[in-house]
Every structure is written in structure tokens, then in C-alpha cells.
Amino acid sequence: QWTTSSIVDEQVARIRAQIGGGKAICGLSGGVDSAVAAALVQRAIGDRLTCVFVDHGLLRAGERAQVERDYVAATGVKLVTVDARERFLNALAGVTDPEEKRKIIGREFIRVFEQAERDLKAEGDYQFLVQGTLYPDVVESGGGAGTANIKSHHNVGGLPDDLQFTLVEPLRALFKDEVRRVGTELGLPETIVQRQPFPGPGLGIRIIGEVTAERLEILRKADAIAREELTSAGLDRTIWQCPVVLLADVRSVGVQGDGRTYGHPVVLRPVSSEDAMTADWTRLPYDVLERISTRITNEVAEVNRVVLDVTSKPPGTIEWE
Ligand code: XMP
């Protein structure tokens, strides 16, 4: 019988065979995929794994602390944090095209890891790079037979030609629900295993228009409010994820207090899904929508309108870029 523990055993054996006596780096994003991939590799090669967490400045509120505190507490893994916020902002300056953003973010990610590798050289050679690529990522990036490239997922399609690592991708044959079961099998806490997906390019692809520090701050506030309200309504397990998207180049007229405003809209994109290949928009309770809308427009000065995305996938993808 094909059990979760047999998946773990098989992957651990494969990883050992691939890496041999070598050393590996794993980038942690804060999401379940990289967390489970790293935990699998750690089980296979122990402290020859070093995890690298890149703060690319496109994270949501509190995410860096979650990785540095919760994940390290749960696994005891060796972690290096790289603060690359300025580097990513500079690379993204003036860029509005979604595919270009994805490629830039993917490329910078790899470059930052390569820099981290050079910094780690003193302790020995790291030749392997662990990635939490899932089966749906492989298929949607054109890696499967007869499929088109829909979006460049940064962990598949955006790798530069001068890549200096051999990839280790222990989740490449798995769907999300299997990854969660593997995580539980490996003893990771529920908060990590049941975490909703968040794209590698982060808030960079949830700002429609140029990514700037100010816009990131606006989106971070709106997103934190939406997540807080969804969590306190007990809806985290009902929805697959709920991207909050800032339409940074759109303005609309509003009225707040006695004054006319000319602010930005944010879009709520709550979706239900099994594996992200298809999705339906989630019929959120009106009172929850109302609380989110009222709080965002009250607490985030630059946002004066909250709109709801009621498009399934297909035809809409889950993310707007
Ligand atoms: P789309 O927008 O293609 O998203 O319907 C499907 C799922 O994938 C997530 N996503 C990504 N995850 N790197 C990732 O690791 C990416 O570049 C990326 N783009 C989208 C998205 O949040 C959804 O869960």
C-alpha cells in the first residue's frame, strides 16, 4: 500500500543517493512546500543541510519572525537569514510586466542563494539546492507532456543559465495534500503544515503596477487585516487562500469623514480549491466581507475601496499576475 511513511522512506533514500556525502542549501520561503522539502532533506542528510531564508521585502506582515522563530523551534534546523530587501526593490524598479517581475524575482533569488553559498564556503562545499517544487508547478510551467507555459513559477521556469547548483526536488511528484501529510509524518507543527499557499514572488505579484516600498507597506496592512478577520471567523480551513491585490495604478473617488479621497482599490480574491489547478471563488459570509472592508478602509489611509473577485479558475488564475 502507498502510505505517507513509504513516500517519506522512498524520498529519504533518493535524497541520500543523490546528495551522497555532499552538502545542501535550502531556501525557506515560510510556506509548507519549502518547509517540508527541507525537513525531508534534513532527515536524509542531517546537519549537512543549511537553510537560507531570504527576506526579499515582498513578505507579508510577521512572516520573517514566523520562519526564524517557529520553524527553527520546531526543527532545530541551521538557518541563515539574508536581508535582501533593497536589492529586490532596486531590481524591480520601473517594472510592471508580470512575467518580467517573476523572472527578475526568480533570478535575484538564485543569485542571493549563490552569494549565501559563497559565504558558507568556509564550512565546505554546497553543491545542492533544495526546492519545494510540486507536481502542479511542474505541469503549469510546461514541464509536463503537452502543456503550455501559463506562468513562470519562479522555482521552475525562472532559473538563470549560470545556475551553479544541482537541484534536489523531493516534492516533484506530489500534490499539496500529500505534501501536508508528509509534513505531519515528519513531525512539523500544524501551523506550518496547514499553512495556506503563498507564491514565491510574494507581494511583488499582488501589486498591479510597479512595486515600491510604499505600495508594499499599503498592501501589507490590508493583507494583514484580511487574514486576521478570516482567521477569527474560523475560515482558514474553508478557503484555499485569499490573495489581497493592490490595484496600484487605479484610483477612484471616495468620501471619508468630510473629505473627498482619491485612493486605491484592493481586491479580495478568496478561493476554494483542491490543488490550485482549478479553483472556485469562495462564497464568504457577508458579515465577514463587511468587517474586512470596513477595517481596511478605516485603517489603511491610501485604500478607499474594497472589491471582490468572483472569477473561477479557469478562466482567471488565482493570482492576478
Ligand atoms: P495561479 O495564479 O497560477 O496560482 O492560479 C496557483 C497557485 O500557485 C501559487 N503561485 C505560486 N507559487 N511560486 C510559487 O511557489 C510562484 O511563482 C507562484 N505563482 C502562483 C498561487 O498562490 C496559487 O496557490
Give CA–CA dist 240/273, Å, rounded: 6
Q: Are residues 41 and 188 in the same domain?
A: yes
Give CA–CA dist 118/278, Å, rounded: 40
- Assess whether the previous peptide bond of 197 is cis (omega < 30° from 0): no
Which residue lies with its CA nearest to atom 11 of ligand 1? 199
Q: Are residues 290 and 232 in the same domain?
A: yes
Q: Is 320 contained in some domain?
A: no
Q: Are residues 164 and 265 in the same domain?
A: no
pLDDT at 114: 79
Answer yes or no: is 301 a known binding residue.
Answer: no
Q: Is 198 contained in some domain?
A: no
CATH number at residue 82: 3.40.50.620
Q: Is the CB of 199 under 6 A from ligand 1?
A: yes
Q: Which of 193, 221, 250 is the last residue of a domain?
A: 193
Q: Are residues 155 and 257 in the same domain?
A: no
Q: Is the CB of 156 under 6 A from ligand 1?
A: no
Amino acid at 158: G
Question: Strand 271-272 to strand 280-281: parallel, antiparallel, or no bridges (unpaired)?
Answer: antiparallel
Q: Are residues 188 and 223 in the same domain?
A: no
Q: Is 319 contained in some domain?
A: no
Q: Is 158 contained in some domain?
A: yes
Please state the domain count of the chain.
2
Q: Are residues 18 and 115 in the same domain?
A: yes
Q: What is the largest CA-CA distance in the chain?
A: 69
Q: Are residues 88 and 225 in the same domain?
A: no
Q: Is 77 contained in some domain?
A: yes
Q: Are residues 123 and 246 in the same domain?
A: no
Q: Are residues 40 and 165 in the same domain?
A: yes
Would you write out the chain's pLDDT as a tens digit for each of its 321 residues?
579 999 999 999 999 999 999 999 998 888 899 999 999 999 999 999 999 999 999 999 988 988 888 888 888 899 999 999 999 999 999 999 999 999 999 999 889 977 887 787 667 788 999 999 999 888 877 654 433 445 554 454 444 445 578 999 999 999 988 999 999 998 888 878 888 889 989 999 999 999 999 999 999 999 999 999 999 999 999 999 999 999 999 999 999 888 999 999 999 999 999 989 999 999 999 999 999 999 999 999 999 999 999 999 999 999 999
Q: Is the CB of 152 under 6 A from ligand 1?
A: no
Q: Are residues 171 and 39 in the same domain?
A: yes
Q: Are residues 165 and 218 in the same domain?
A: no
pLDDT at 156: 45
Residue 112 domain boundaries: 4-193
Which residue lies with its CA nearest to atom 18 of ligand 1? 199
C-alpha 93 – ligand 1 centre gap (Å) = 22
Please answer whether residues 207 and 302 qualify as being in contact, where contact means their C-beta atoms are separated by less than 8 angstroms. Answer: no
CATH number at residue 212: 3.30.300.10
Please answer whether residues 265 and 303 qualify as being in contact, where contact means their C-beta atoms are separated by less than 8 angstroms. Answer: yes
Q: Is 314 contained in some domain?
A: no
ipTM at complex level: 0.99
Q: Is 108 contained in some domain?
A: yes
Q: Which of 139, 165, 193 is the last residue of a domain?
A: 193
Q: Which of 138, 164, 193 is the last residue of a domain?
A: 193
Q: Is 12 contained in some domain?
A: yes
C-alpha 261 – ligand 1 centre gap (Å) = 33
Answer yes or no: is 97 a known binding residue.
Answer: no
Question: Of the residues 309, 318, 320, which should be mutated to test ligand 1's pocket, given the most ligand atoms within 8 Å of the CB?
Answer: 318
C-alpha 17 – ligand 1 centre gap (Å) = 30
Q: Are residues 174 and 50 in the same domain?
A: yes
Buried b (16+ CB within 10 A) or exposed e, 11-43: bbeebeebbeeebbbbbbbbbbbbbbbbbbbbb
pTM for this model (two decimals): 0.83
